[in-house]
Amino acid sequence: MGRLFKRCSVTMLIKRFMLSFIPGIIIYELINEYKGLLLHEDSPTELAAPILKNGSLATLEPPLDTPRPPHMDIVEVKPRQKTHIQDHVIFGADDIHDIKHGGIDSEDPKLLGYIRRHIHGPSQRELNITDQYRNDFSQIEQSVFVDFALGYRKGGFFVDCGAGDGELFSNTLFFERDREWSGLLIEPNADDFSTLLHKRRKAFSLNACVSPSKHSSVEVFRKASGFISGLRGYVDELHSGIDFAGNWWYQGETTVQCYPLYSILLALDRDHIDYLSLDVEGPEVEILDTIPFDKLRIDVITVEYRAKGQQSDLLSRSLEKLGRIREVIGKTGLYDEIGILPPLKVFNRNQAMQSQGALEKTGLDVVFRRSDLRETDA
């Protein structure tokens, strides 16, 4: 068998040892202090090839654009030995558990290295979108408003939380194509994320959810068509009064990996974001509350606050959420609220005086900009 074993299927060599059946490879591990590489039975074995070098485990860092299926966790199986964790090393089984379930600090290098391994790099091929002649892909002209608020800035960096398929209702595609920005697309729905990858966006992408707490976690995710999927509990509150299971668009539940937004950005070595788009169907307030604004500069933020579901309390739930968003952002002392989208058409002074209240009732997103950027209005 050699000093390094590789297991590529669930077929096991069973041997009698200590009055219990133990897989043959475990005997080599425990008795002979072998080490090896365990692969899920349906993992592509070629993905393991770069890891094996001259009969031992290589330490080369994988490129960001190398796909790594979520079911393929690379672990060092030699017991009672812990490896120093960096971006390019092998994670122990205990490390994997702690990383996934919040057992380590949000800035721990182990967590950052693990996140980094799951980030896809920008595509180097031609953009593959449906409408090549369109400029603004956003739902209610968020791109146009943010572009003006930033003085038509070029070469910025966006973070799109709830990126969908990367084209329909995208708040960031305009900046990528027309303003030469780079960025990060975060989408937890595996089906939408697969479509997103086929769009060949020139941005980093991550199939995960943004954690509503300051720790990583595995959460239950309600899948639905039409970009209304979300974390169980949060999306139920957002769609209050609607029976998910009783609707044709409901696709069932699955689990998703969630990481704090700050951890994700640390994994990319980013401490400055030009534009943050936050549309995650529920936990927007909780996510904002996790951001250390003293460590991370974000110039413009758009946040969806519009509640959905039954009409009886739709307005009150929307305004309550808007108030909570304003409270979290207001505590930072760093931002001005510069608009609610979509804007109302105002034709006279009386309408202008009443427009703010009407905007709040009919709006979808609220927009904040750093106070130290006011001079760009001139």
Provide the residue ranges of all domains of the chain, joining segments of one domain with +: 4-120, 142-377
pLDDT tens digits, residue range 90-140?
A: 788 999 999 999 999 999 999 999 999 999 999 999 999 998 888 899 999
What single letter denotes the amino acid at residue 315? L
CA–CA distance, 137 with 163 (Å, rounded to integer):
12
Find all residues with CB under 8 Å of 302, minimum gap 6, and list them. Answer: 142, 145, 146, 171, 275, 276, 277, 278, 279, 341, 365, 366, 367
The CATH class that applies to domain 142-377 reads: alpha beta
What is the Cα gyration radius of the chain?
A: 24
Please give the Cα distance from 88 to 360 (Å, whole number).
48
**Which tokens is 153 given?**
């800035």
Beta-sheet pairing, 157-161 with 272-278: parallel
| Single pTM value for the model | 0.76
Spell out the SS3 assignment of 183-235.
Answer: EEEECCCHHHHHHHHHCCCCCEEECCEECCCCCCEEEEEEEECCCCCEECCHH
pLDDT tens-place values along the chain, 378 residues long: 444 444 443 333 333 333 333 344 443 444 444 455 444 433 333 333 333 233 333 333 334 444 444 433 333 333 333 333 355 667 889 999 999 999 999 999 999 999 999 999 999 999 999 988 888 999 999 999 999 999 999 999 999 999 999 999 999 999 999 999 999 999 999 999 999 999 999 999 999 999 999 999 999 988 877 667 878 878 878 777 677 676 766 778 899 999 999 999 999 999 999 999 999 989 999 999 999 999 999 999 999 999 877 776 888 999 999 999 999 999 999 999 999 999 876 445 555 555 677 889 889 999 999 999 986 555
Partnered with residue 36 across adjacent β-strands are: 5
Q: How far is residue 309's CA from residue 230's CA, in Å, rounded to a whole number?
A: 14
